[in-house]
Amino acid sequence: MRTPEEIERALQSTGIQTTDALDEMILRNAGLALDTALAETKGRPKLARPWKGVVTQRPLRAAVATAVLVSGVFLSVLFVNTPGERHVAWAQVSERMAQVDRLMFRLSAQLPDEARTGDPEAPGALSLGSFALVYFGSADLGARWDLYESGELISSILYPLDGESGIAINHQERTWSRVDPSGDAPVTAGLFPILDPQAWVKRFLERDGNQIGQSSIDGVEVEGLEVIDPPTQFGPGNEAGPRVEGTGRLWVSVGSGLPVRIEIQEGQEGEGVTWTLDFRWGAQVDPGAFESTIPEGYTLVG
């Protein structure tokens, strides 16, 4: 094996296979587990409400605001270990969470067809079928947001703590602008409360939630909390904004006590926007990601 391609082929073509006995054992045991799980979940009501598109006009702002919401929610989550089964305690405040000074999360949204008909020329609007927003936050380095559509990087906002202002980069138009956290530019308006997400925590937990037991996300054991009126996505201080009807679920790792995922289904499945936010706490962050470096050839605007 002399070339990288040969090594790749060798890795892909060699492997091990299950035995019939192993197949039989796993399918039998997994089948029993499936029966047991189904019996346990029967009778638990599905919570969902009809909802008309709240975020169809400004999905980017909504995405950002929802991201703020989610990170805020988790500041009041603390886990405890009991001698028996481990559970998450939901009423504790942020003391433990504050010890984690680095956070990365990915927000992705699936919009129904209805949402795509929004005016793409409206301020702050992006008429996308689906998109993802990735946030890197670091107590010592700053914050960065990257917006992707279909895997393509559309725009980035960097806000280093050691600078007086951040920068916003539009990769499609190859332009950039300065970002003032006190300003009210459409793209940035909803961003900066994420640096103080306590208000979001409070708002989420003010709702009557149901504990929905334990589950697993990507192999991580989690415990969930469900509300039928997840907080609106328009940020702290905007209580006048419309309330979302639907289902919001917060999943927290039983092992680490840190949030793993939040899911918000607005309205019925397939009708409203579906938000998924995945969290990585204490993530390794490349300090270079927070440097305000303007890509070559980009033009300053604004």
Partner 1 sequence: MAGSDRRLARRLGRGDKDALAEVYREQKDRLLTLAYRLLADRAAAEDCLQDVFLRLARDAANLRIRGRLGPYLASCVLNRARDELRKGGRAVHVSLSQDHEGPSSGPDPSLAVEELDRSTRIQEALSLLPSEQREVVVLHLNGDLTFRQIGEMQSVSIHTAKSRYRYGIQRLRGLLSRQEEG
Counting contacts by CB under 8 A, is residue 300 touching partner 1? Answer: no
- Report the nearest approach of partner 1 to the CB of residue 224 (Å): 8
Counting contacts by CB under 8 A, is residue 25 touching partner 1? Answer: yes
Counting contacts by CB under 8 A, is residue 210 touching partner 1? Answer: no
The residue written with tokens 């039983």 in the block is 254
Counting contacts by CB under 8 A, is residue 82 touching partner 1? Answer: no
Nearer to partner 1, 4 or 83 (CB): 4
Counting contacts by CB under 8 A, is residue 81 touching partner 1? Answer: no
- Residues 38, 83, 121, 296: which binds partner 1 (CB under 8 A)? 38
Alpha carbons within 13 angstroms on the beta-carbon side of residue 250 total 32
Nearer to partner 1, 1 or 294 (CB): 1
How far apart are the two ends of the chain, measured CA to CA in Å?
A: 56
Is residue 73 a contact partner of residue 54, using CB atoms and an 8 Å limit?
A: no
Nearer to partner 1, 146 or 189 (CB): 146
Give the integer Cα–Cα distance in Å for 240 and 236. 10
- Residues 65, 143, 158, 261: which binds partner 1 (CB under 8 A)? 261
Give the integer Cα–Cα distance in Å for 268 and 70. 21
- Report the nearest approach of partner 1 to the CB of residue 233 (Å): 19
| Tokens read off for 199 | 């208000």
Counting contacts by CB under 8 A, is residue 252 touching partner 1? Answer: no
CB within 8 Å of 250: residues ≥ 6 apart: 73, 74, 77, 204, 224, 225, 226, 259, 262
- Residues 20, 34, 205, 297: which binds partner 1 (CB under 8 A)? 34
Considering only residues 134 to 173 of the shown chain, the ones binding partner 1 according to CB under 8 A are: 151
Counting contacts by CB under 8 A, is residue 1 touching partner 1? Answer: yes
Counting contacts by CB under 8 A, is residue 215 touching partner 1? Answer: yes
Is residue 134 a contact partner of residue 106, using CB atoms and an 8 Å limit?
A: yes
Considering only residues 221 to 250 of the shown chain, the ones binding partner 1 according to CB under 8 A are: 224
Q: What is the DSSP string of 124-179?
A: T----SEEEEEEEEETTTEEEEEEEETTEEEEEEEEETTSSSEEEEETTTTEEEEE
CB within 8 Å of 286: residues ≥ 6 apart: none
Counting contacts by CB under 8 A, is residue 99 touching partner 1? Answer: no
Cβ atoms within 10 Å of 164's Cβ, excluding its own: 8
> Which parts of this chain interact with partner 1 (CB under 8 A)?
1-4, 7-8, 10-12, 14-18, 22-23, 25-27, 29-31, 33-38, 41, 104, 106, 108, 151, 212, 215-220, 224, 261, 263, 276, 278, 280, 283-284, 286, 289
